[in-house]
Structure 1
Amino acid sequence: MVQRYSQLCPVAFGAGAVSTTGDVAKELGFNRVLIVTDENVKKMGHTQKVVDSLTAAGMETFLFADCEMDAPDYTVQTGADLVKTHAIDGIVGIGGGSVLDTAKGISTLAANHVSVSELLDSARNMMPLENPPIKLILIPTTSGTGSESTIIAVISDTKNHEKIGAIAPPSFAIVDPELTLGMPKEITVYTGMDAFSHVCEALTSVQPNPHSDILCYDTIERITKWLPIAAADPLNLEARENLALASNNAGIAFNDAMVHLGHAIAHAMGATFHIPHGIACALVTPVILELTAPVYPEKVKKIGTCMGLTISATDPQEIGIDVANGLRQFQKQLGIPTLPDLTISREQILGCTNYVANEGLRFLCPVPATEERIAASLAKIYDCYQ
Structure 2
Amino acid sequence: MVQRYTQLCPVAFGAGAVSTTGDVGKELGFKKVLVVTDVNVEMIGHSQKVIDSLTEAGIATVLFNRCEMDAPDYIVQAGADLVKSQGIDGIVGIGGGSVLDTAKGISALAANNVTISEMLDFSRKMIPLENPSMKLVLIPTTSGTGSESTIIAVINDTKNHEKIGAMTPPSFAIVDPELTLDMPKEITVYTGMDAFSHACEALTSIQPNPHSDILCYDTIERITKWLPIAVKEPNNLEARENLALASNSAGIAFNDAMVHLGHATAHSMGANFHIPHGIACALVTPVILELTAPVYPVKVKKIGECMGLTVNVSDPKEIGQLVANNVRQFMLQLNVPTLKDLKISREQIIGCTNYVANEGLRFLCPVSATNELITELLGQIYDRYQ
TM-score (norm 2): 1.00
Residue type of the alignment partner of 1:258? M
Residue type of the alignment partner of 2:9? C
Counterpart in 2 of 1:155? 155
Cα distance in 1, alignment partners of residues 370 and 171 from structure 2: 37
Counterpart in 1 of 2:57? 57
Counterpart in 2 of 1:8? 8
Q: Deviations over 1:164-218 (max 9, x none)?
A: 0000000000000000000010000000000000010000000000000000000
Q: Superposition pairs for residues 225-240 of structure 1, below 5 Å? A: 225-240=225-240
Q: Deviations over 1:74-124 (max 9, x none)?
A: 000000000000010000000000000000000000000000000000000
Counterpart in 2 of 1:20? 20
The Cα shift of 1:382 comes to 0.1
Q: CA RMSD in A?
A: 0.3
Residue type of the alignment partner of 1:43? M
Cα distance in 2, alignment partners of residues 215 and 60 from structure 1: 37
The Cα shift of 1:313 comes to 1.3
Residue type of the alignment partner of 1:329? Q
Q: Superposition pairs for residues 101-180 of structure 1, below 5 Å? A: 101-180=101-180
Cα distance in 2, alignment partners of residues 285 and 30 from structure 1: 41
Q: Secondary structure at the match of 1:265?
A: helix
Counterpart in 2 of 1:254? 254
Counterpart in 1 of 2:320? 320
The Cα shift of 1:148 comes to 0.1
Residue type of the alignment partner of 1:346? R
Cα distance in 2, alignment partners of residues 49 and 372 from structure 1: 51
Cα distance in 1, alignment partners of residues 206 and 376 from structure 2: 21
Residue type of the alignment partner of 1:332? L
Specify every segment of 5 or more residues in structure 1 that has no aligned partner in the other structure, as ranges.
none
Cα distance in 2, alignment partners of residues 17 and 37 from structure 1: 18
Counterpart in 1 of 2:45? 45
Q: How many residues align?
A: 386
Residue type of the alignment partner of 1:333? Q
Counterpart in 2 of 1:287? 287
Cα distance in 1, alignment partners of residues 112 and 369 from structure 2: 35
Counterpart in 1 of 2:270? 270
Q: Deviations over 1:251-286 (max 9, x none)?
A: 000000000000000000000000000000000000
Q: Secondary structure at the match of 2:61?
A: strand
The Cα shift of 1:363 comes to 0.1
Residue type of the alignment partner of 1:326? N
Cα distance in 2, alignment partners of residues 259 and 385 from structure 1: 22
Cα distance in 2, alignment partners of residues 184 and 110 from structure 1: 33
Residue type of the alignment partner of 1:140? P
Q: Which runs of 4+ in 1 moved over 4 A?
A: none
Residue type of the alignment partner of 1:109? L
Residue type of the alignment partner of 1:385? Y
Cα distance in 1, alignment partners of residues 71 and 36 from structure 2: 12
Q: Secondary structure at the match of 2:156?
A: strand
Residue type of the alignment partner of 1:228? P
Residue type of the alignment partner of 2:276? P
Cα distance in 1, alignment partners of residues 164 and 182 from structure 2: 32
Cα distance in 1, alignment partners of residues 30 and 290 from structure 2: 47
Q: Secondary structure at the match of 2:235?
A: coil
The Cα shift of 1:385 comes to 1.4
The Cα shift of 1:292 comes to 0.1
Residue type of the alignment partner of 1:363? F
Cα distance in 2, alignment partners of residues 118 and 317 from structure 1: 45
Residue type of the alignment partner of 1:12? A
Q: Secondary structure at the match of 1:156?
A: strand
Cα distance in 1, alignment partners of residues 53 and 372 from structure 2: 53
Asked whether 1:185 is paired with 2:164, we answer no
Counterpart in 2 of 1:352? 352
Q: Superposition pairs for residues 305-344 of structure 1, below 5 Å? A: 305-344=305-344
Cα distance in 1, alignment partners of residues 25 and 158 from structure 2: 33
Cα distance in 1, alignment partners of residues 143 and 97 from structure 2: 9
Cα distance in 2, alignment partners of residues 312 and 277 from structure 1: 33
Q: Secondary structure at the match of 2:47?
A: helix
The Cα shift of 1:380 comes to 0.4
Q: Superposition pairs for residues 79-90 of structure 1, below 5 Å? A: 79-90=79-90
TM-score (norm 1): 1.00
Cα distance in 2, alignment partners of residues 32 and 339 from structure 1: 45
